[in-house]
Amino acid sequence: MSSYTTIEGRAVAEIEEKKSRFIASLAHVETEEEALAFLEEIRAANRMARHNVYAYILRQGGAGAAGRVRYSDDGEPQKTAGLPTLEVLQHAGLTDVVCVVTRYFGGVLLGTGGLVRAYTQSTQAGIDAAQLVVVSRCVDLRIRIAYPRYEQLMRLAEDHGAKVLSTDFADAVTMNLRMLDGTQQPLLDALTALERGQEDVEVGDPIDAAF
């Protein structure tokens, strides 16, 4: 069962190294177009910056193509900026993510070691500020049940590792559950036993979702 870790929304963090400011901006993206659009947005917001170094990792390159990895030093000495940024993202196990590190030069040269350290630390600070989510292949279930069996259904959901997305109390109780795809059959079997074959359940198509 394939799952992957990404970030939710966006995150920003800043460090200072010998008067140079390094601002790491991260975003969840799913296409190269989204990654490049985020890069342009950060560049436009930081026109006075000396460098806007970036790296991104995508699960798919577009139209079902295999994953894509790109980075740029944006004028910094080769392998001192974009590659360290990328390596921090990879070390964190992230995908479908872009990181742009904006550098405002402070007048003091950092040397190659100093640059690698600064870009590494700023990217890590950005990840630390981000909300990480694990996305897995999931399936959603919509179950309608009479009030007297609501507590039993709650226990079944808990016992079978289902997450309750929402519960609607009307003439009957309607629960929306999410499970890892492939784990739903034992719950469905238990529900059949509980409802004696009269269960009212809809099973959605598999989706990629946070779980």
Closest CA to 102 of 15, 9, 30: 15
Assigned token pair, 138: 């999931």
Predicted TM-score (pTM) above 0.85:
no
Tens of pLDDT, residue by residue over 172-208, are 999 999 999 999 999 999 999 988 888 899 999 998 8
| 85/154 Cα distance (integer angstroms) | 45
Q: What is the dihedral of CA 64, 65, 71, 74, to 10 degrees?
A: -80
CATH (domain of 11)? 3.30.230.30
Is 67's pLDDT higher than 70? yes
CATH (domain of 184)? 3.30.70.260
Tens of pLDDT, residue by residue over 86-135, are 999 999 999 999 999 999 998 888 999 999 999 999 999 999 999 999 99
Domain termination residue (choose one: 129, 149, 184): 129
Sheet holding 10-17, edge to edge: 10-17, 20-28, 97-104, 51-58, 68-72
Residues 17, 108 share a domain: yes
Is 61's pLDDT higher than 60? no
- In which band, very low, low, confident or very high, does the pLDDT at 1 lie, cut at 50, 70 and 90? very low
Residue span of the structural domain in which 86 resides: 3-129
Assigned token pair, 180: 């890892």
| 209/211 Cα distance (integer angstroms) | 6
